[in-house]
Amino acid sequence: MALLSKAWDELLRPFIKRPNKFQVAALCYRTKGKKKEVLLVTSRGTGRWILPKGWPMDGMSACDAAIAEAWEEAGVKPKSVHREPLGCFDYVKDRDEGLPTPCDTQVYAVEVGSMADSFPEAGERERSWMSPAKAAELVEEQGLKDILRQF
H-helix or E-strand spanning residue 147: helix 142-150
28-37, 77-86, 90-99: which has the minimum mean pLDDT? 90-99
**How many angstroms from the chain centroid is the CA of residue 85?**
12
Domains, the chain, in order of start with CATH, read 18-150 (3.90.79.10)
Assess whether pLDDT exceeds 70 at residue 28: yes
Which stretches of the chain are assigned E, i.e. beta strand? 21-32, 35-42, 49-50, 53-54, 76-81, 87-93, 101-115, 127-130
Q: Which of 145, 83, 89, 109 is nearest to 31 (CA)?
A: 109
pLDDT digits (tens, 9 = 90+) for 69-89: 999 999 999 999 999 999 999
Angle, vertex CA 12, rays to CA 11 and CA 18, nearest 5: 110
